[in-house]
Amino acid sequence: MQTKRMTFSSGWLPYALLAPQVIITLIFFIWPASQALYQSVLRQDIFGLRTEFVGLDNFARLLNDPLYLNSLNVTFWFSVGTTFLSMSVALLFAVMVNRMIRSRDSYTTFLVWPYAVAPAIAGVLWWFIFNPSIGIMPYMLKGFGYDWNHRSSSTDAMILIIVAAAWKQISYNFLFFLAGLQSIPQSLIEAAAIDGASRMKRFWTIVFPLLSPITFFLMVVNVVYAMFDTFGVIHATTEGGPAQATNILVYKVYRDGFVNLNLGSSAAQSVILMAIVVILTVIQFRYIERRVNY
Amino acid sequence: MVENNRWGNLLAHIILILGVAIVIFPVYVAIIASTHPSGTFLRGVMPLLPGPNALENYKTVIVEGRSRAGTPPIGGMLWNSFVMAMAITIGKLSISLLSAFAIVYFRFPFRIFFFWVIFLTLMLPVEVRILPTFQVVADLGMLNSFAGLSIPLIASATATFLFRQFFMTVPEELMEAARVDGAGPMKFFKDILMPLSITNIAALFVIMFIYGWNQYLWPLLITTDPEYYTIVMGIQRMVTGGDSEPLWHLVMATVVLAALPPILVILFMQRLFVKGLTETEK
């Protein structure tokens, strides 16, 4: 790891400087994370009186539990849906805004602020818009002959949380796509235009491939967002229902731990989630390193 | 763009205006709903034009709350959110500046070990290790306190990472000059490094403030005393009040009040926000 060529003479000072962060990290991060690992191999009886060591049994149970497998499946479709919707809309907006010269900044201002809205609030907003009895969307859908009800239809509930989660994420993706588009050299595009390539062809053969590192980075970030930051979207709206249709993994950890008080299972689920984040983070870092070498 | 395509530009404007409209729509709806009396929502589809009750609704949520339903007035919740967001922001910035300074400008035993201990936290959001973190905070007697609301969320390394990257780009000559002049490390930190980092600090401030303000799950778990409710979690307590329909006009007034401060921060500090965002993530 790099440092400066010249450094200050050490002693106790660097330790004192590091102390606040290291202490907080140990108490509120390392300690609970290792507790989760430890509890994941234990099982408590329902009154919390007896605890026994069960090895990997909690994990084995999870992987045979239809509810957990369902939650995996739900999380998968939710992440794919949210990522795809927010990224494609953001890319469209970024390409359009990038054409503009004078109005670029004003459009950007109008498109970035949803970043500031909390996921829980985004959930409540869309929940209101899609409310089966008074919402504007069900009213319009009825005009097309579709009877919207996210309280009884699994598909409708899933669409609702995907829209709410993706809406908030568009601004984030938009900013990164716009930055990416602006770093593409104009001369490349001009050369292709002189060769007679149409606008569409130029986009798909030059611009889009050059955006692919950013697209990949955003994909990882969006999957992480959909899997871990959307607790508020679910909790404030569908609460995992109807019939487990929106019970994503993070929500299930919370439900099993705090509502059903099944500590061993909740801890085992936490450990699986940790493994997923670590893998995604490692992918992200490898990507960052490669970018630095460019 | 390469050729001047008038129809293409017109089309682009149309798409963008439609897009902006869709992006703004939910908040427009919330603002409209917050201006109507409660009766409006019993009579079918929500209105799209403002009603007459704005002042009354906002006054109700800010001053009175709905004490019977267990939701305190919003005024206090807004204050709690503000305190929590500021505590998280200032806490993160200070510990990160100090530790990044130590890691970049000193060479000492176990440096790399500490580096990794800190950077491990980049990976795991609090949602993943929620139950054990809750237990630790409960054991320390920090439930229902501002310390419990903020300190556990300070333990994340994003800011440390950014400051480390930035310090690496600061020219070495500055430090050499400071040493020739006989300045100690803390003087160098205070008089040279801090002023140079001011833009980065401001940019991160915007992002951290929004992060702190928008916390949901954590305050939901550790505050059982309405004294410490924050506004974003308070909304959930308003929405899930039994089987009846929520009081939409009051909920939406609360939503508007909860979303407004971070939105204003972004709009006023857009340049800094974009700078901070793209630098933290890349």
B238-253 per-position pLDDT tens digit: 776 555 677 888 888 8
Residue among A121, A231, A267 minimizing CB distance to B235: A121
Cα nearest neighbour of B156 on chain A:
A25
d(CA A13, CA B186): 9
d(CA B265, CA B281): 20
Residues in chain A with CB shorter than 8 Å from the CB of B133 are 28, 32
d(CA A197, CA B101): 51
Q: Which helix (H) or strand (E) holds A261?
A: none
Q: In the structure encoding, which two tokens stand for residue A250, read together?
A: 């993070």
What are the residues facing A43 on neighbouring strands?
A: A52
d(CA A3, CA A161): 46
Q: Which residue has the higher pLDDT, A5 or A249?
A: A249
A165: pLDDT strictly greater than 90: yes
Task: Give the pLDDT band of residue A294 (cuts 50, 70, 90).
Answer: very low
Q: Which residue has the tokens 């962060």?
A: A21
d(CA A87, CA B190): 42
Q: Is the dihedral of CA A216, A221, A222, A226 positive or negative?
A: positive
The answer to whether the CB atoms of B45 and A110 lie below 8 A apart is: no
* Other Cβ atoms within 10 Å of A119 Cβ, number: 24
Q: How far is B182 from chain A (nearest CA, A)?
A: 12
A166: pLDDT strictly greater than 90: yes
pTM for this predicted structure? 0.88
A158: pLDDT strictly greater than 90: yes
Question: What is each CA distance from B63 to A138, A251, B220, B232, B237, in whole angstroms?
Answer: 34, 33, 22, 17, 17
The answer to whether the CB atoms of B123 and A277 lie below 8 A apart is: yes
Residue among B106, B115, B221 minimizing CB distance to A10: B106
Exposure b/e, A47-57, CB count within 10 A at least 16 = b: eeeeeeebeeb
Cα nearest neighbour of B14 on chain A:
A96
Confidence at residue A40, expressed as pLDDT on a 0 to 100 scale? 85
Looking at mean pLDDT, say which of A126-130, A193-197, B117-121 comes out highest.
A126-130
Residue among A33, A112, A229 minimizing CB distance to B266: A112
> In this structure, which long-range contacts are made by residues B109-113, counting pairs with CB atoms below 8 Å and at least 24 apart in sequence?
B111/A1, B111/A14, B112/A1
Confidence at residue B241, expressed as pLDDT on a 0 to 100 scale? 57
Instruction: Give the angle A124-B73-A121 at the CA atoms, nearest 5°.
Output: 15
**C-alpha radius of gyration, chain A, whole number:** 24
Residues in chain A with CB shorter than 8 Å from the CB of B104 are 3-4
Confidence at residue A3, expressed as pLDDT on a 0 to 100 scale? 63
d(CA A82, CA A161): 9
Task: Give the pLDDT band of residue A41 (cuts 50, 70, 90).
Answer: confident
d(CA A6, CA A4): 5
Residue among A5, A107, A277 minimizing CB distance to B128: A277
Residues in chain A with CB shorter than 8 Å from the CB of B129 are 29, 32-33, 35-36, 270, 274
Confidence at residue B65, expressed as pLDDT on a 0 to 100 scale? 67
Q: In the structure encoding, which two tokens stand for residue B256, read together?
A: 């508007």
Q: Please check whether residue B93 is in contact with residue B159, taking contact to mean a CB–CB distance below 8 angstroms.
A: yes
Question: B47-82, pLDDT tens digit by residue?
Answer: 788 888 778 888 887 877 665 555 678 888 899 999
- How would you classify the pairing of strands A42-44 and A51-53? antiparallel
List A residues 6-65 in contact with B (Cβ-Cβ < 8 A).
Answer: 6-8, 10, 13-15, 17-18, 20-22, 24-33, 35-36, 39
A132: pLDDT strictly greater than 80: yes
Question: B186-228, pLDDT tens digit by residue?
Answer: 888 998 899 999 988 998 899 899 999 999 888 988 888 888 8
Which of B214, B256, B282 is the best mutation test for A, with the most CBs of A within 10 A? B214
